[in-house]
């Protein structure tokens, strides 16, 4: 927990800024997912806050959660974490006994914080569990098509390739779909998302082919399965994921290849989108323009440049009927089991 | 509590020390007497409800009244003997019927007296054998297990009384609806008696409304209830309530929500400590009912409407079917929040539940388009969302709702050449059922087919006047001759019908014509995108999980 000690003195000096903490956490640890970063930021917030009653704590939590959600352009993944933490707090507080509403608040607080950390550690371990569950899906001689920069997928593929010479060594090939949009937008990185994973896999001796998004339909015939990551898993078992996942799902369904999604169970969000345009975020993917509009826009280029310094990574929604199974740390689930898991957490 | 025992109860307990024997007779009587127009009499000349019920029921009412009066002094043994005699008379009548038209005149005449003393009883078995009776003349008299034979006989061309039950649904005709309160068990509370009639006539209609009305009626039952000597409230009240319940179910089959509410109430009664004083136990139960209504319906509806409103966006065109209360609440609230959208109401015969919804929405200032279900393909063309109410949700995620719902859902999901429209169901968890429905045949409800008859299209000249319309009236008295008691009613009904010659008016006498007035259908889970409940939005597959949770807690 290096980050904790790192941000403590800073926050002591000035009022605790949850958004900055969240962003810093994400930057400092490339392995951190959004929900976990959010939970970690909230735990840090509680560490710093001088709150002395339960309702004060919950209030503070609700406030800063709302603040955080508003400040981040795409709060879907994040809200999974904050909701989970809030739920966890409430159930802990409602439990009878020494830590219940009647108990000593100080004890409750320390318990909460220590358990919050335990929670984070467990969440980080969940990736290993996923690997254990998902390794059986990758078999000798198969070809996996994947996309995006999901760390869960990357760790699954790398673990599968890892065991050189062992009895469970898997020889497989990967077709990596590299997004063309992010090549333009993410100029800071200089390379499309996922190149890192491609390099790592190649270093382990896995033959990797990179294709553009337009070649997915062409390449799917050579693939045996599709494995994608997810930003959030929604209540009906669909996934919110990097733009382009939906079309891969549609194509995989049409061609009849299994479509697996790898996601940690803390990414389950209480959200129920009815379609692409029902997500709680604003995306300007489809932007109709006439010659006039372009001319108008070019007259005030400074304005727009200031307005959106960070281009939002756009996402789409893959409906549950396209997904064969979700590989999570609580097992391999069908999409309809997601709501059961969510209900278990919430009630 | 012993001081407040009412006179009739004391008399009961003195004449019948063990309580148990007198009970069975009244308990069975609602179900036995339920088809006042049983399968046989239903096949007799068309009776309009208004026309027939008066002359026919008047003697029945008086005689049952006398019956009820003479019931009390009877000892259990006498009651048993009486029941036996009635059963024998019934059998004799059935046999006479089976013998065909010739024997019927002699056979049924002596029966008429006994038949009137207690209305004939036709549980399912009798319907089946009634159907089999049509085979009688052919010389194959199967008595038992004649279910499938009944269906076959429906298609048979040459027979006197045609089976008017549609064969696929023949198993549903067993539950014929009660037409009057007579023959109801004497334990049935007046509030419940009234409710039963309201349920039957669709005055109280809609799953939640029926549930609330039932609970409120039961609250009055509990309020006026006194525990008889020698039993405890927890044990006796349940049986007392079950009289009310069986009466209600003869008026109209119970809704899923009613069943769930009754189950919860019975559980609450059973959970009462026998040592609790009666007054406080009753107060607890009344509180329980009030809380139950508030939690499971009133507040649940608000929560559902609140989350359903979030799914309505500006510019939406919302299609809904028939008149669901919760959908109405949702649309009104969305309008109140300033969302701009259009509503297209699809309605159907014969209940026209959408009319009041259309009126309410239009009064509130919404843009409403009203059309019947025939125009569904037209209405769905510019739809963006479909909101549906529910009668129940089954454990396999299917929606059990007013007939026509499945058609609307299917049209939305399989719209030709368009993006599929999300279908959203608003449903309280109290409507969740642990049953599984694969089709809408096994479990359904058949309403009186006469409801389909009266709505007349405006007089049109599309062809020559049907000569059959003039020949049918004379047929009726002839047919009515079979059942002596029903003959006068046939005449009255014929005379009342003639002024409005609906083409279907004499459907019961028209051979090869069957009317089916089915109440519900089952929408496959694939056609439902989302179920909004008070516990959150769920996919249809999560229905059993939520049902399990809400019943366990």
**B310-439+521-552: which CATH topology?**
Rossmann fold (3.40.50)
Mean pLDDT, chain B, rounded, equals 73
- Backbone phi, psi, residue B473, to 5°: -55, -45
CA distance A94 to A102: 10
Handedness of CA A69, A72, A73, A77 (dihedral sign): negative
Q: Which H/E stretch holds residue A326?
A: strand A325-328
Q: Which two tokens stand for residue A16?
A: 């605790």
- Only one residue has tokens 């539950």, namely B175
CA distance B278 to B5: 12
Cβ neighbours of residue A304 closer than 8 Å, sequence gap 6 or more: A297
- Pick the more confident residue, B273 or B17: B273
| Whether the predicted pLDDT of B391 surpasses 90 | yes
3-state SS, one letter per residue, for B418-481: CCCCCEEEECCHHHECCCCCCCCCCCCCECCHHHHCCCCCCCCCCCCCCCHHHHHHHHHHHHHC
Q: Any bridge partners for residue A229, and if so which?
A: A262
Sort strands A239-242 and A232-233 into parallel, antiparallel or unpaired: antiparallel
CA distance A180 to B145: 71
Handedness of CA B88, B91, B97, B100 (dihedral sign): negative
> Residue A43 carries which DSSP code?
H
| Chain B hits for A346, Cβ within 8 Å | 536
| Whether the predicted pLDDT of B523 surpasses 80 | yes
State the pLDDT at residue A37. 86
CA distance B444 to A212: 54
Identify the residue among B537, B546, B548, B549 best suited for mutation to test binding to A, counting A beta carbons within 10 A and taking the highest: B537
Q: How far is CA B42 from the centre of its chain?
A: 17
State how far residue B541 is from chain A, nearest Cα, in angstroms: 6
CA distance A31 to A159: 15
Query: How far, in Å, are A135, A199, A204, A261, A314 from residue A163 at the CA level?
Result: 11, 17, 10, 23, 35
**CATH classification (class only), B187-300:** mainly alpha
Identify the residue among B384, B529, B541, B552 best suited for mutation to test binding to A, counting A beta carbons within 10 A and taking the highest: B541
B contact set with A (CB within 8 A): 311, 385, 422, 424, 529-530, 535-539, 541-542, 545-546, 549
Question: Is-contact B253 B313, C-beta < 8 A?
Answer: no
Could you read off the pLDDT of A74-91 as tens digits, one per residue? 888 888 888 888 887 777
State the pLDDT at residue B455. 55
State the pLDDT at residue A100. 55
Give per-residue burial for B28-53: e unless 16+ CB within 10 Å, then b: ebbbbbbbbbbbbbbbbbbbbeebbb
| Whether the predicted pLDDT of B62 surpasses 50 | no
- Span A193-215, average pLDDT: 89
Q: Any chain B CB within 8 A of the CB of A66?
A: no
| Chain B hits for A347, Cβ within 8 Å | 535, 549
Size of interface A-B (CB pairs under 8 A): 40
Cβ neighbours of residue B280 closer than 8 Å, sequence gap 6 or more: none
CB-based contact B536 A237, cutoff 8 Å: no
State the pLDDT at residue B460. 53
CB neighbour class for A71 (10 Å; exposed up to 12, middle 13-18, buried from 19): middle
| Whether the predicted pLDDT of B32 surpasses 60 | no
CA distance A92 to A159: 36
pLDDT tier at B141, thresholds 50, 70, 90: very low
- Sheet of strand A315-318, all strands in order from the earlier edge strand to the far edge: A232-233, A239-242, A315-318
| Whether the predicted pLDDT of B454 surpasses 60 | yes
- Nearest Cα to B446, choosing from B170, B121, B136, B144? B170
State the pLDDT at residue A14. 56
What is B135-163 written as a DSSP string?
TGGGT----SS-HHHHHHHHH-SS-SS--
CB neighbour class for B545 (10 Å; exposed up to 12, middle 13-18, buried from 19): buried
- Nearest Cα to B313, choosing from A179, A277, A26? A277
The answer for A194, left when phi > 0, alpha when psi is -120 to 50, beta otherwise, is left
CA distance B29 to B316: 53
| Total residue length of chain A | 347
| Chain B hits for A268, Cβ within 8 Å | none
State the pLDDT at residue B244. 92
| Coil/strand/helix, residue B370 | strand
- Pick the more confident residue, B330 or B22: B330
Q: Which of A86-95, A127-136, B461-470 has the largest mean confidence?
A: A127-136
- Nearest Cα to A95, choosing from A134, A54, A124, A128? A54
Mean pLDDT, chain A, rounded, equals 81
User: Which range among A167-176, A185-194, B492-501 shows the weakest confidence by mean pLDDT?
Assistant: B492-501
| Coil/strand/helix, residue B331 | helix
Query: How far, in Å, are A308, A310, B406 from residue A315 at the CA level?
Result: 17, 15, 33
CB neighbour class for B27 (10 Å; exposed up to 12, middle 13-18, buried from 19): middle
User: Angle CA(B388)–CA(B393)–CA(B395) in degrees, nearest 5?
Assistant: 150
Domains B187-300 and B310-439+521-552 alike in fold: no
Spell out the domain ranges in chain B.
187-300, 310-439+521-552
Could you read off the pLDDT of B207-228 as tens digits, one per residue? 999 999 999 999 999 999 988 8
Query: How far, in Å, are A65, A85, B121, B217, B463 from residue A26 at the CA level?
Result: 16, 18, 76, 60, 80
What is B492-513 written as a DSSP string?
HHHHHHTTS--TTTTTTTSTT-
Q: What is the CA radius of gyration of chain B?
A: 26
State how far residue A127 is from chain B, nearest Cα, in angstroms: 27
- Nearest Cα to B175, choosing from B25, B44, B41, B30? B30
CA distance B391 to B547: 15
| Chain B hits for A322, Cβ within 8 Å | none
Question: Is-contact A146 A175, C-beta < 8 A?
Answer: yes
User: Which range among A105-109, A229-233, B159-163, B238-242 shows the weakest confidence by mean pLDDT?
Assistant: B159-163
CB-based contact B530 A237, cutoff 8 Å: no
State the pLDDT at residue B39. 40
- Nearest Cα to A142, choosing from A225, A228, A254, A215? A225
Q: Any bridge partners for residue B149, and if so which?
A: none
Q: Which H/E stretch holds residue A257?
A: none
CB-based contact A339 B535, cutoff 8 Å: no
- Span A334-339, average pLDDT: 89
- Span B396-412, average pLDDT: 93
Q: Any chain B CB within 8 A of the CB of A346?
A: yes
pLDDT tier at A49, thresholds 50, 70, 90: confident
pLDDT tier at B398, thresholds 50, 70, 90: very high
- Span A3-20, average pLDDT: 55
State the pLDDT at residue B192. 93
State how far residue A346 is from chain B, nearest Cα, in angstroms: 10
State the pLDDT at residue A48. 80
| Whether the predicted pLDDT of A311 surpasses 80 | no
Q: Which H/E stretch holds residue A316?
A: strand A315-318
Query: How far, in Å, are B41, B182, B225, B494, B510 from residue B50 at the CA level?
Result: 16, 16, 35, 12, 21
- B526 to chain A: closest CA residue: A321
Q: Any chain B CB within 8 A of the CB of A272?
A: yes
Q: Which CATH number fits domain A2-126: 1.20.120, 2.20.230, 2.60.40, 2.60.120?
A: 1.20.120
Q: How far is CA A177 from the centre of its chain?
A: 19
- Nearest Cα to A26, choosing from A11, A45, A13, A41? A41
The answer to whether the complex's ipTM is over 0.85 is no
Share of chain B above pLDDT 70, in %: 63
CA distance B51 to B48: 5
Q: Any chain B CB within 8 A of the CB of A305?
A: no
CB-based contact B541 A336, cutoff 8 Å: yes
Query: How far, in Å, are A3, A320, B431, B522 from residue B541 at the CA level?
Result: 42, 12, 15, 15
Could you read off the pLDDT of B91-120 as tens digits, one per residue? 766 666 555 444 434 434 444 444 444 444
Q: Which two tokens stand for residue A163?
A: 């065991």
- H helix and E strand count, chain A: 14, 10
- Backbone phi, psi, residue B270, to 5°: -65, -25
State the pLDDT at residue B75. 65
State how far residue B295 is from chain A, nearest Cα, in angstroms: 16
- Only one residue has tokens 């642990």, namely B434
| Whether the predicted pLDDT of B483 surpasses 50 | no
Could you read off the pLDDT of B504-513 as tens digits, one per residue? 788 888 888 8
Q: Any chain B CB within 8 A of the CB of A158?
A: no
CB-based contact A278 B541, cutoff 8 Å: no
Q: What is the largest CA-CA distance in chain B?
A: 77
- Pick the more confident residue, A341 or B330: B330
| Chain A hits for B422, Cβ within 8 Å | 274-275
State how far residue B36 is from chain A, nearest Cα, in angstroms: 48
State the pLDDT at residue B396. 93
| Whether the predicted pLDDT of B334 surpasses 90 | yes
CA distance B254 to B442: 16
Spell out the domain ranges in chain A.
2-126, 138-303+311-346
Query: How far, in Å, are A231, B50, B53, B91 from residue A192 at the CA level?
Result: 18, 80, 82, 87
Q: Which CATH number fits domain A138-303+311-346: 3.40.50.10470, 3.30.429.10, 3.40.50.300, 3.30.540.10?
A: 3.40.50.10470
What number of other Cβ atoms are within 10 A of residue A303's Cβ? 9
Q: Which H/E stretch holds residue A64?
A: helix A54-71
C-alpha atoms less than 13 angstroms from C-alpha of B104 in its C-beta half-sphere? 19
User: Which range among A296-305, A330-339, B513-522 shows the weakest confidence by mean pLDDT?
Assistant: A296-305
């Amino acid at each position: 927990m290096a980050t904790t000690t790192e941000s403590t003195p800073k926050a002591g000096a000035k009022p605790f800024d949850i958004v900055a903490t969240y962003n810093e956490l994400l930057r400092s640890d490339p392995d951190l997912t959004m929900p976990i970063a959010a939970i970690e930021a909230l735990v840090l917030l509680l560490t710093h806050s001088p709150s002395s009653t339960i309702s004060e704590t919950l209030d503070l939590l609700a406030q800063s959660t709302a603040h955080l959600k508003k400040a981040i352009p795409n709060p879907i993944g994040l809200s999974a974490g904050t909701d989970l933490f809030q739920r966890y707090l409430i159930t802990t507080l409602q439990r009878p006994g020494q830590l219940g509403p009647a108990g000593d608040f100080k004890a409750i607080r320390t318990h909460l914080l220590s358990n919050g950390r335990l929670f984070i550690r467990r969440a980080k371990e969940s990736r290993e569990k996923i690997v254990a569950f998902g390794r059986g899906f990758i078999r000798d001689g198969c070809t996996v098509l994947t996309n995006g920069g999901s760390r869960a997928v990357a760790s699954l593929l790398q673990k599968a390739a890892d065991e050189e010479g062992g009895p469970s060594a898997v020889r497989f090939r990967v077709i990596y779909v590299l997004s063309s949009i992010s090549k333009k937008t993410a100029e800071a990185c200089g390379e499309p998302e996922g190149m890192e994973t491609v390099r790592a896999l190649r270093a382990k001796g896995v033959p990797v082919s990179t294709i553009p998004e337009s070649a997915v339909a062409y390449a799917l015939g050579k693939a045996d399965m599709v494995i994608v990551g997810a930003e959030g898993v929604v209540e009906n078992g669909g996934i919110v994921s990097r733009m382009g996942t939906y079309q891969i799902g549609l194509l995989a369904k049409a061609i009849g290849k299994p479509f697996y999604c790898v996601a940690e169970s803390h990414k389950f969000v209480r959200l129920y989108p009815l379609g692409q345009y029902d997500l709680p975020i604003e995306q300007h993917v489809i932007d109709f323009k006439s010659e006039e509009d372009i001319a108008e826009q070019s007259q005030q280029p400074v304005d727009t440049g200031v307005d959106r310094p960070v281009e939002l990574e756009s996402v789409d929604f893959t409906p549950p009927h396209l997904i064969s199974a979700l590989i999570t740390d609580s097992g391999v689930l069908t999409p309809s089991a997601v709501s059961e898991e969510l209900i278990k957490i919430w009630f | 509590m012993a001081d407040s025992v009412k006179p009739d109860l004391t008399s009961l307990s003195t004449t019948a020390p063990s309580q148990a024997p007198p009970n069975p007779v009244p308990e069975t009587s609602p179900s036995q007497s339920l088809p006042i127009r049983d399968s046989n009499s239903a096949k007799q000349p068309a009776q309009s409800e208004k026309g027939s019920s008066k002359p026919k029921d008047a003697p029945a009412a008086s005689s049952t009244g006398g019956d009820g009066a003479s019931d009390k002094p009877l000892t259990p043994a006498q009651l048993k003997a009486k029941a036996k005699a009635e059963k024998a008379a019934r059998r004799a009548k059935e046999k006479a019927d089976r013998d065909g038209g010739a024997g019927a005149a002699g056979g049924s005449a002596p029966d008429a007296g006994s038949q009137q003393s207690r209305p004939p009883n036709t549980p399912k078995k009798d319907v089946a054998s009634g159907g089999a009776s049509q085979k009688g003349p052919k010389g194959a008299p199967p008595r038992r297990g004649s279910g499938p034979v009944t269906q076959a006989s429906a298609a048979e061309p040459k027979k006197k009384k045609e089976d008017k039950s549609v064969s696929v649904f023949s198993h549903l005709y067993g539950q014929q609806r009660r037409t009057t309160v007579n023959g109801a068990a004497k334990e049935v509370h007046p509030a419940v008696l009234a409710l039963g009639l309201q349920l039957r006539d669709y005055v109280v209609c809609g799953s939640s409304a029926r549930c609330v009305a039932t609970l409120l009626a039961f609250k009055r039952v509990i309020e006026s209830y006194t525990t008889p000597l020698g039993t405890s409230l927890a044990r006796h009240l349940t049986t007392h309530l079950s009289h009310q319940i069986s009466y209600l179910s003869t008026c109209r089959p119970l809704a899923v929500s009613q069943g769930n509410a009754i189950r919860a109430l019975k559980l609450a009664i059973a959970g009462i400590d026998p040592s609790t004083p009666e007054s406080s136990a009753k107060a607890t139960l009344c509180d329980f009912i009030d809380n139950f209504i508030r939690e499971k319906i009133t507040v649940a509806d608000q929560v559902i409407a609140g989350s359903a409103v979030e799914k309505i966006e500006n510019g939406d065109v919302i299609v809904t079917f028939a008149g669901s209360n919760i959908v109405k609440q949702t649309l009104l609230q969305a309008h109140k929040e300033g969302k701009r959208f259009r509503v297209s109401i699809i309605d159907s015969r014969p209940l026209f539940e959408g009319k009041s919804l259309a009126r309410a929405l239009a009064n509130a200032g919404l843009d409403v388009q009203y059309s019947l279900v025939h125009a569904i393909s037209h209405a769905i063309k510019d739809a963006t969302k479909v909101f549906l109410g529910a009668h129940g949700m089954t454990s396999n995620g299917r929606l059990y709702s007013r007939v026509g719902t499945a058609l609307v859902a299917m049209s939305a999901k399989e719209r030709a050449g368009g993006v599929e429209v999300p279908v959203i169901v608003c449903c309280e968890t109290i409507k969740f059922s642990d049953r599984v429905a694969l089709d809408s045949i096994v479990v359904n409800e058949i309403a009186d087919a006469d409801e389909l008859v009266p709505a007349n299209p405006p007089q049109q000249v599309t062809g020559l006047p049907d000569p059959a319309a003039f020949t049918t009236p004379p047929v009726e008295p002839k047919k009515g001759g079979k059942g002596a008691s029903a003959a006068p009613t046939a005449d009255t009904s014929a005379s009342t019908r003639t002024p409005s010659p609906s083409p279907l008016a004499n459907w019961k006498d028209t051979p090869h014509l069957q009317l089916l007035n089915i109440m519900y259908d089952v929408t496959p889970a694939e056609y439902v995108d989302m179920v909004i409940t008070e516990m959150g939005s769920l996919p249809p597959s999560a229905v059993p999980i939520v049902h399990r949770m809400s019943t366990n807690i």
